[in-house]
Amino acid sequence: MDRRAFILSTAAGLLPLASRSSLAQGATVDLGALAERGQFKLVNRSANLLVDGPRRGVRLSEAAGEGVAFVPGVTLATGMIAIDLRGKDVTQRSFLGVAFHGVDDKTFDSIYFRPFNFRAADSHSVQYHSLPLYSWDRLRSERPGQYERAATPPPDPNGWFRARIVVAKGKADVFVGDAGAPCLSVNLLNVRPSGAVGLWVGNNSSGDFANLTVTPAT
| Cβ–Cβ < 8 Å for 195, 41 | no
Average pLDDT over residues 44-57: 97
Q: What is the b/e burial string over 166-188, where b = at least 16 CB atoms within 10 angstroms of the residue's CB?
A: bbeeeebbbbbeeeeebbbebeb
Give CA–CA dist 96/111, Å, rounded.
8
Which is more confident, 91 or 1? 91
Q: How far is CA 218 from CA 78, 110, 122, 139, in A?
A: 9, 22, 37, 32
What values do phi and psi take at 94, rounded to 5? Answer: -150, 95
Domain extent, residue 180, equals 3-216
CATH of the domain at 206: 2.60.120.560
CA distances from 80 to 26, 32, 90, 200, 208 (A): 9, 21, 29, 16, 20
Each residue's pLDDT tens digit, 178-216: 999 999 999 999 999 999 999 999 999 999 999 999 999
Q: What pLDDT score does 123 carry?
A: 77
Radius of gyration of the chain (CA): 16
Mean pLDDT across the stretch 123-133?
A: 95
C-alpha–C-alpha distance, residues 30 and 189, integer Å: 30
- What percent of the chain lies above the pLDDT cut of 90? 85
User: What's the pLDDT tens digit per position in 58-87?
Assistant: 999 999 999 999 999 999 999 999 999 999
pTM: 0.88
* 4 has a pLDDT exceeding 90: no
Judging by beta carbons within 10 Å of its beta carbon (0-12, 13-18, 19+), is residue 154 exposed, middle or buried?
middle
Average pLDDT over residues 32-49: 98
pLDDT at position 170 over 50: yes
Find, among 1, 59, 17, 12, the residue nearest to 39 by Cα: 12
Q: What one-character DSSP code corresponds to residue 159?
A: S
Q: What is the pLDDT of residue 218?
A: 82
Task: State the average pLDDT over residues 120-133.
Answer: 92
- pLDDT tier at 26, thresholds 50, 70, 90: low
Of the candidates 190, 200, 105, 193, the residue with the CA atom closest to the CA atom of residue 147 = 190
Confidence of residue 6 (pLDDT cuts 50, 70, 90): very low
Total domains, the chain: 1
For position 5, what pLDDT does the model report? 40
